[in-house]
Amino acid sequence: MAYLRFKALEILNSRKPIPAQLPSNSVSDFFNENVFDMEQMRATLSPSVFNKVSQAIIKGEKIDETTADAVAIAVKSWAISKGATHFTHWFQPLTGGTAEKHDSFFDGTTKIEKFKGSELVQQEPDASSFPSGGIRSTFEARGYTAWDPSSPMFLYGKTLCIPTIFVSYTGEPLDTKGPLFKALKAIDVAATKVCQLFDRDIQHVSASLGCEQEFFVVDKALYMARPDLVMAGRTVFGHSPARGQQLEDHYFGSIPSRIYEFLRDFEIEAWKLGIPVRTRHNEVAPSQFEVAPAFESVNVANDHNQLMMDLMQRVAERHDLRVLFHEKPFEGVNGSGKHNNWSLITDTGVNLFAPTSSARDNLMFLTFFVTTIKAVHEHADLLRASIATPGNDYRLGGAEAPPAIMSVFIGSQMTNVLNELESKGNVRIQKGDNMYMKLGIDHIPEIILDNTDRNRTSPFAFTGNKFEFRAVGSSDNCATPMTALNLIVADQLEALHSEVMASIEKGTEKRLAIVNVLRRYIKESRNIRFEGDGYSATWVKEARERGLSNIATMPEAIQAYLSEKSLSLFERHGVYTRKEVYARQEIKLENYIKRVQIEARVIGDLAMNHIIPTAIAYQSKLIENANGLKGLGIDNSAVINTIEQISKHIAIIKKNVSEMINERKRVNKITDTRQRAIEYSECIKARYFDVIRDSVDKLELLVDNEDWPLVKYRELLFLR
């Protein structure tokens, strides 16, 4: 094993940067090159077909068969002219990641490549291996994928990829995109209704998303020499390097050239695929980076994020690197998140979270702003549940990550605005050179919005013209948190609208009716607002006093999906049926169990087969040395002490690994999935992982570096 480590380090030393080739000095020359985008469609489709397709994209209308056939012919020629041989329906199953089943254009029966509209619109993947939480087995054995025209088709390698949703024959979504569509529809409908209280011209509202993706990059050979990284995506052992994050300034002066070339290469490929990325350094952990594409509509942004994660791994391969998307690959080093920057934008081009100088728009802004906070307050547990993943359990509440307590940060200016509005129904003027916010209500003149007010410790923060949901984990598919967020806000907007309308009917002036509801919302949701340090222990205490939940583990957190409140919310908007919620719950719990199971096995195997034999061998050397010293009459107490410490840690490891194995056997017999998941969390993960790790990490410091079998943190993290 130590052989593997040193071999990997030797390979590392011989690595050279592989220069990225920019196809043209101007990015616009090749941006979207591999996308069948609007421009391509306009160029290749007849005006009437193009018109139908673009209407379908904008308004979500159905595409008829003749139109689909025409698109299929056009996209086929486009793809083949660019070297494509296959096409695939690209979808996002509940296991996470993306899936595809490739068919060739050439079917062997004729001399020409074929692709029919029906093949574009619908396919039946052999989906029996995708989880459905029992939906399919109970009802109908098959599922199908259906074209999503709102996300452009793209060429990936030699394959034309068609973004699709994956549904069962009885109509239940078997993926993450289906429910997202329903939530996006709900927010469109609800937000448009509310907008029309202010501006009758607004016909649609669409939610936007910009995800900041964090990740680590490690050398491939070092990665391969760490079975825990390969199997579990995170290191289960490893002592923090002496040179840790405290030296970040020094380290970040220059990006190691291998990684620089990789990131460049990745950017080029992403641009060709129409992903508007901008990579940059994350000022946090060594070897950690961030990519932040420009925001797009939620559905497209999320498809781009999923594609980007896959692409990054492919490009990394060319540079002998591996990308780690796990939320917490290294203990003692910051974890990775995927900040979801979210806003609502009208078809007239107004960002509903951006204060402006127009009085009318500012009451509209305040309405959306306050209603969002109220929604988070009402459904904080559901929002927490929506970001629960096995990996995020390791990240939330750790240093440099938001806690598992949901709260909203809005900054001191907006806090003042809300306080004034709540207490007096008006907003005070503040002078300065920043942006002005005017409100068109009597006594509510203008305020300044401080765009620079930042609090990086909040899980959900207002950042001037958008909300930033920071609790989302780096490996996650944003569809789930985006479904939850858009849905709860849609629901709250509906409630607000009904109340305002009822009040108007009773004769209240419209603006006053709105302000009255907002004032009440501000009061009712006060508890969820927190402006202080979310990383501090005092916040944990204060949050408890406020009655806010702090749910540390995924099996507990996702229970919120099953509350009557959540179930009726889903039903009200047709996002999930009860059956689907239970099915999804089952899949998530099974997945959680599997992940903890794998980690437990890796911990057991590495500890027993790699660490203990190494420690014993080293101990034997020390015993020899101690005996030699004794024979010479020299004091050997220091050596004896080390031998004793090694013995102690070996004993702790052996005892705990064997107990952990027995516990696993016991827990595996529990038939109730939820109970099994909870016991995996409490009786296996919480009880044994850290104890075993602690002794292994101590041994790392005791055993001769030359003998240590696992690639060390300093080697993994400080890539040259």
The binding site for Mg ion (CB under 5 A) comprises 212, 339
Are residues 86 and 102 in contact, defined by beta-carbon separation less than 8 angstroms?
yes
Q: How far is the CB of 699 from ligand ADP (least distance, A)?
A: 40
The H or E element spanning position 468 is strand 467-469
- Which 3 state secondary structure label does DSSP give 596? helix
- DSSP letters, 79-99, are HHHTT--EEEEEE-BTTSS-E
- Shortest spacing between CB 433 and ligand ADP, in angstroms: 21
Nearer CB in complex with ligand ADP: 344/405? 344
Closer CB to ligand ADP, residue 293 or residue 335? Answer: 293
Local structure of residue 238 (DSSP, 8 states): -
Strand partners, 288: 216
Q: Output 11 or 284, the one with its CB closest to Mg ion.
A: 284
235 binds, options Mg ion, ligand ADP, none, Cβ within 5 to 8 A by partner type: none
Minimum distance from CB of 651 to ligand ADP (Å)? 48
Rg of the chain over all Cα atoms, to the nearest angstrom? 28
CB under 5 to 8 A by kind: which of Mg ion, ligand ADP, none does 600 bind?
A: none
Over the window 329 to 358, marking each residue x when it contacts ligand ADP by CB under 6 A and - when it does not, the resulting string is ------------xxx-------x-------
Site string (593-632) toward ligand ADP, x via CB under 6 A: ----------------------------------------
Report the phi/psi class of residue 274: left, alpha or beta, with left for phi > 0 and alpha for psi in -120 to 50.
left
Closest Cα partner for 195 from 89, 350, 336? 350
Place of tokens 């570096």: 705
Residue environment code for 345-379, b if the CB has 16+ CB neighbours within 10 A, otherwise e? bbeeebbbbbbbeebebbbbbbbbbbbbbbbbbbb
Q: In whole angstroms, how close is the CB of 212 to ligand ADP at the nearest point?
A: 5
Query: How far apart, in whole angstroms, are the C-alpha atoms of residue 652 and residue 615?
Result: 13
Please tell me the distance from the alpha carbon of residue 473 to that of residue 557, in angstroms, as a whole number. Answer: 14
Q: For residues 616 and 235, what is the distance between their CA atoms, to the nearest angstrom?
A: 23
Q: Of residues 269-298, which lie at the interface with ligand ADP (CB under 6 A)?
A: 292-295
Give the residue with the Cβ less far from ligand ADP, 210 or 335: 210
Q: How many residues bind ligand ADP (CB under 6 A)?
A: 14
Nearer to ligand ADP, 254 or 452 (CB): 452
In the complex with Mg ion, the residue whose CB is nearer, 210 or 329, is: 210
Which is nearer to ligand ADP, 292 or 543 (by Cβ)?
Answer: 292
Instruction: Choose between 305 and 636: whose C-beta lies nearer to ligand ADP.
Output: 305
Q: Which of 323, 325, 326, 330 lies closest to 235, judged by CA?
A: 330
Give the Cα separation of 188 and 165 in Å (integer).
19
For helices 612-631 and 690-702, the axis angle rounded to 10 degrees is: 40
Which of 434, 465 has the CB closer to ligand ADP? Answer: 465
Please choose which of Mg ion, ligand ADP, none residue 294 contacts, taking the beta carbon within 5 to 8 angstroms, the exact cut-off set by kind: ligand ADP
Binding flag, residue 459, ligand ADP (CB under 6 A): no
CB 326, min distance to Mg ion, A: 20
Binding positions for ligand ADP, 460-499, rule CB under 6 A? 465-466
Q: Looking up tokens 């005092």, which residue turns up?
A: 538
Please give the structure tokens belonging to residue 660. 């952990």
| Tokens coding 175 | 């993926």
Which among Mg ion, ligand ADP, none contacts residue 554 (Cβ within 5 to 8 A by kind)?
Answer: none
Q: Select from ligand ADP, Mg ion, none the partner in contact with residue 54, using the beta carbon and a kind-dependent cut-off of 5 to 8 Å.
A: none
Least CB distance to ligand ADP at residue 635 (A): 59
Query: Which C-beta is closer to ligand ADP: that of 208 or that of 591?
Result: 208
Q: Which does 685 bind (CB under 5 to 8 A by kind): ligand ADP, Mg ion, none?
A: none
State the minimum distance, in angstroms, from the CB of residue 263 to ligand ADP.
16
Closer residue to ligand ADP in complex, CB, 177/339: 339
What residue number has its CB nearest to Mg ion?
Answer: 339
* The entry of Mg ion, ligand ADP, none that residue 295 binds, CB within 5 to 8 Å by partner kind: ligand ADP
Nearer to ligand ADP, 67 or 206 (CB): 206
Q: Which helix (H) or strand (E) holds 166?
A: strand 159-168
What is the footprint of ligand ADP within residues 195-214 (CB under 6 A)?
208-210, 212
Taking the complex as a whole, the smallest distance from the CB of residue 458 to ligand ADP amounts, in Å, to 12
Q: What region, left, alpha or beta, does residue 366 occupy, with left being phi > 0 and alpha being psi -120 to 50 degrees?
A: alpha
Q: How far is the CB of 288 from Mg ion (least distance, A)?
A: 14
CB of residue 464 to ligand ADP, shortest distance in Å: 9
Distance from C-alpha of 119 to C-alpha of 620, rounded to nearest angstrom? 67
Strands 153-156, 296-297: pairing is: unpaired
Is 114 or 456 the residue whose CB approaches ligand ADP more closely? 456
- Rounded to a whole number of angstroms, the minimum distance from the CB of residue 157 to ligand ADP is 26
DSSP string, 660-683: HHHHHHHHHT--SHHHHHHHIIII
- Choose between 339 and 676: whose C-beta lies nearer to Mg ion: 339
- For 498, other C-beta atoms within 10 Å of its C-beta total 12
Question: Which residue do the tokens 């004034």 mark?
Answer: 420
Q: Are strands 338-346 and 467-469 parallel, antiparallel or unpaired?
A: antiparallel
- 465 touches, from Mg ion, ligand ADP, none (C-beta below 5 to 8 Å by class): ligand ADP
Helices (H), ranges, 123-256: 135-138, 177-195, 220-224, 227-232, 248-251
Give the shortest CB-599-to-Mg ion separation in angstroms: 29
Binding residues for ligand ADP restricted to 207-246, rule: CB under 6 A: 208-210, 212
Shortest CB 434 distance to ligand ADP, Å: 17
Virtual torsion, Cα 132, 135, 141, 147, nearest 10 deg = -60
* CA-angle at 456, arms to 356 and 550, nearest 5°: 110
Per-residue interface string for the shown chain with ligand ADP, residues 42-81, x marking contact by CB under 6 A: ----------------------------------------
Q: What's the CA gap between 652 and 611, in Å, rounded?
A: 12
Half-sphere exposure of 16 (CA within 13 A, CB side): 2
Least distance in Å: CB of 285 to Mg ion?
16
| Residues lying near ligand ADP in the complex (CB under 6 A) | 208-210, 212, 292-295, 341-343, 351, 465-466
